[in-house]
A and B are shown apart, each in its own frame.
Chain A
Amino acid sequence: MIIPGVVLRLRALFRREATEARLDEEMRYHLELETDKNLRLGMSRESARRQARLDFGGVESMKEDQRDARGTRPLEDAVADVRYALRVLRRNPVLTGAAMLTLALGVGANTAIFSVVNAVILRPLPFPHSERLVMLSEDNAEKGWRRAVAAPANYLDWRERVKAFEDVAAYTGGGGATLSGAGDARQLRVRNVTGNYFSVLGVDAELGRTLRDAETWQRGPGTAVISHRLYQDALGGNPAALGRTIMLDGAPTEVVGVMPASFSFAADSVDVWQPMGWDADSRSQVFFRRAHWLRVVARLKPGVTPAAADAEFQTIVGQLQREFPLTNRVMGADLVPLQEFLIGDLRVPLLILQGAVGLLLLIACANVGNLLLAQAVGREREVSLRLALGARRERVVRQALTESLVLSLLGGAAGFALGWWGTRALAALQPTGMLPVKSVPMDLRVLACVTLITTLTGLLFGIAPAMWSASRVPAEVLKEGGKGGSVGSRSRRWTDLLVVGEIALALVLTVGAGLLVRSFYRLQRVDPGLEPHGVMAIGIRLPAGYDRTARQVQFFTALRERVSALPGVESAAEGLVAPFGGSSFTSDFHVAGRAPDDYGTEVMRDYVTPGYFSTLRVPLRAGRFFTDADREGAEPVVIINEGMALQHFRGGNPVGQRITFDKFPDSTSVWRTIVGVVGDVRQRGLALTPQVAAFEAFGQQSNSYMTLLVRARGDAGEVLPALRRVLAELDPSIAFAEATSLDALVARSIARQRYIMTLLLVFAATGLLLSVMGVYGVMAQMARRRSREMGIRIALGAGVAQVQWLVVRHGLRLVAGGLGLGLLGSFAATQSIRSLLYEVAPADPLTFVTVSILLALTALLASWLPAARASLTNPAATLRDE
């Protein structure tokens, strides 16, 4: 009999009016018959009717009972509660507005950060069975490598020997190429991949085909798969482009496929994928195992866990160590799920930001809770009356909770809108490439999380007022009577508790932000080791025609000389990569005359032209800079940095000594004489210590890709058109890549720290503002309550300051409590941001003291203002008011 029951219940709910009408009609009929009966018993018409009604009992209460019997009571109550709540909220637009704004800030911040956390950490990667993709990297304790790029020979052995892998692909980091023959020459981002790269990822081409396994080893006329973007931009989106030959760095290359627009590996923006094109002979050569430049991604066989695969993988890595002691003796390897690899060291800052917005939400809750509590106190007579008239306590509590839930849902909706906007802003303002995802979508999980947060929020801030309402003894409240009668001390305790909690949370947030600010300030003041201001860096890639050293040297020398002669240019020079533009490459080295096992590892190498150090204003510590005389045929020379001099020539003068870039020198080793020592440059970024570095003279070591560094006299941007002209005159087929100022490169090296600091600062400032508003609200209430007392005291001759102290004293107690609690919390919480701090201790006393004082002063000001206002009102007026 369940079904008819449900039907009746539903019908009753939806056709409430009809059901009530039926009830009315039945009742009327009953009353008529009863009246008739009474008439027959000889009553007057009037008393017959009256008696019938009396016998029937309370009509309305019967209707209530009837509704109970219908089983829709809870729903009808809920609807009524919501209606009532909306009415109450509309009646207090200021309070509702303040509460909604507060909630919107809290929920909005949470929505935005959670969207990012969701996109980066929770959402699976956009590849089929992405849980089976793992990243393989090399570890080397001697060189300090962790999750480093792998040597091709190691990659090939891993692929062939580890049974747990279905297939293994490799790709290079960002490379570039010049596209010519299709309008203006332009720089493209190229990634060299093994032929199975796309099949390992499990993606197919949108047009044509992806690469083939065999193409990994094919030299000669190249093939390429291009991005949807390049297909649209350079090939006009015409399917006839398939099979067309384009010129990449002057080499003809056939376009065999176009990837879909949605394809992206870790948010890269590659234009062209080309097969490795390795020489089959290379496999057996030492450099194939000694040089490391591959990222390796493997797909596990179905059913194989990463742990099981890793166990087998480590066995193979051990075998390779024994088989190839020269190169692999200390070479370890690491297997991690691809997603974990991509998240990398982003996990900590993301979780910290999530924690910070969580605190912010709690502060918002406390604030809104206090607002509602104040309102509930103002309505205590109404509630008491309802209780006295027989309303059940649970009903009153439910009413209060409904009100807070309605408010939280409204605030949550506003917060979601704010969060939607915030998410877009977060993604748009992120430092380039920080988030390893192409987009930050607001998916169902985000929506569900926000709904959950919102509901919990409503319950959280609703509990205090609801509990308070329910705890009231009606008789007492009604007895208290009188206008604004004394308010129960219980509500004040709740309020005080919330304020103390709020101050404590705000302190934790602000201390955290303060530490990051201090850390960032330190970072910014780090000496980069050169003078970046006014220097532009322009990467220049020579096309295929320039493969001989002489031609490369000739071209770059001519370029440097002509650019130096331009008006507005102070000096120009060239190096492999721009400072702060990343590391070039590293190698081992050996100092002449040392024991065979006394070698150095990980020296960063660079080829630089004369004028390089003076253009960048890198100081000379000993010896000399390069000159034009350091050319091919002359004595091979090298300049080392101070770090290398200190670390490897302790106590001696390195100038005049000879080194070679071989770990175990033999007869083929080239020995270079150290001619100078220069200052250290923080090549890899301000936050990282300078590397040991050695510079060779570009005249003796050339390359087809160099970075032109130009120091301008005035505005660096003004010399750009002239630079462009010089380049076009030298060779029109060379693309002019984007020019970047060194200032921007320096800033970019700490952009992530700046971004995280800024976000935390914004959240902390919001939290601080909310909590100070909370203090102000509570103190204003208190001042209002005591304005009569203050008036009397002033009338009796007390000083204004003395009277204000009455209120401020209370504020002081709250602030002290909040600070005490907050300091304890901060000591615990700031440990979690240790890894984000640069040369600042998590318990940095200066930050703790400064932030505490700042918070205390603001909070005290917020409690003094209402006190001051109350004490200045005319005592007579206050008393008359009563």
Chain B
Amino acid sequence: MPPKPTDVLRGTLDLLVLKTLTLDAMHGWGISQRIQQFSRGVLDVNQGSLYPALQRLELKGWIDSEWRPSDNNRRARYYRLTAAGRRALSTETNDWRRYVEAVEWILETA
């Protein structure tokens, strides 16, 4: 039995979504698939929390969205990173790195 994918930690989802959107505008399902792919199947996005996260980010003005025809010619809502989102991503990434370093340091030394 393969190891069960870990749920994305609350709080890191925003960061992952922002990172995913740096490459291209994407719809919700695409974002969830991309995160799973990038993490080589380790992380599983809880889809129930993805959409609230998207709405939250839009509310902060870090992403915006529009309806666009998708590959299979259906209407899908595409999310795109804004300039503010780009700035936020860099601060959030730094924060995350510091956090990880701190946790690692504790795990190794304590």
Contact = CB atoms under 8 A, between A and B. Distances in A.
Interface string A27-43: 10110111001000000
A22 interface: yes
Nearest to B62: A1
Interface in B71-86: 74-77, 84
A29 B76 contact: yes
Interface in A440-471: none
B61 interface: yes
Which of A22, A58, A62, A71 has the most B CB atoms < 10 Å from its CB? A62
Contacts of B29: 29-30, 33-34
Interface in A145-171: none
Interface of B is mostly: helix
A8 B51 contact: no
A707 to B, nearest CB: 84
A39 to B, nearest CB: 13
Interface size class of A (residues with CB under 8 A): 20 to 34
A30 B28 contact: yes
A62 B27 CA distance: 17
Nearest to B76: A29
A27 B51 contact: yes
A5 B59 CA distance: 5
Contacts of A22: 77
Given A26-B28, A26-B77, A71 B59 contact: yes
B7 to A, nearest CB: 11
Contacts of A66: 51-52, 55
Nearest to A23: B51
Nearest to A30: B29
A30 B70 CA distance: 12
A58 B70 CA distance: 26
Interface size class of B (residues with CB under 8 A): 20 to 34
Interface stretch (B17-25, B41-49, B90-98): B41-49
A56 B61 contact: no
Contacts of A484: none
Contacts of A9: 59
A4 interface: yes
A84 B55 CA distance: 28
Contacts of B49: 62, 65
A29 B47 CA distance: 13
B59 A69 contact: yes
Contact of A1 (B32, B60, B77): B60
A25 B51 CA distance: 12
Contacts of A32: 74
A1 B48 contact: no
Contacts of A70: 55, 59
Contacts of A61: 48
Contacts of A30: 27-29, 32, 47
Contacts of B28: 26, 29-30
Which of A30, A56, A68 has the most B CB atoms < 10 Å from its CB? A30
Interface string A666-689: 000000000000000000000000
Interface string A415-437: 00000000000000000000000
Nearest to A28: B74
Contacts of B33: 37
Contacts of A394: none
Contacts of A69: 52-53, 55-56, 59
A315 B74 CA distance: 95
Given A9-B59, A22-B77, A29-B29, A57 B52 contact: no
B52 A5 contact: no
A62 B28 CA distance: 14
Nearest to A3: B61
Contacts of B84: 1
Contacts of B60: 1, 5
Interface string A236-256: 000000000000000000000
A55 interface: yes
Contacts of B75: 25, 29
Contacts of A57: 46-48
Contacts of A34: 29, 47
B70 to A, nearest CB: 8
A388 to B, nearest CB: 23
A70 B70 CA distance: 26
Which of B55, B74, B84 has the most A CB atoms < 10 Å from its CB? B55
B78 to A, nearest CB: 11
Contacts of B56: 69
B74 A29 contact: yes
B48 A56 contact: yes
Contacts of B61: 1, 4-5
Given A5-B59, A8-B58, A9-B59, A29 B48 contact: no
Contacts of A27: 51
B109 to A, nearest CB: 38
A37 B37 CA distance: 14
B37 to A, nearest CB: 12
Given A26-B27, A62-B52, 12 more contacts: A4-B61, A5-B59, A8-B59, A26-B51, A29-B27, A29-B74, A30-B29, A33-B29, A56-B47, A61-B48, A66-B55, A69-B55
12 contacts: A1-B61, A26-B28, A26-B76, A26-B77, A27-B51, A29-B70, A30-B47, A33-B29, A34-B29, A65-B48, A69-B55, A70-B59
Ranked 4 nearest A-B pairs via Cβ: A57-B48, A1-B61, A69-B52, A69-B55
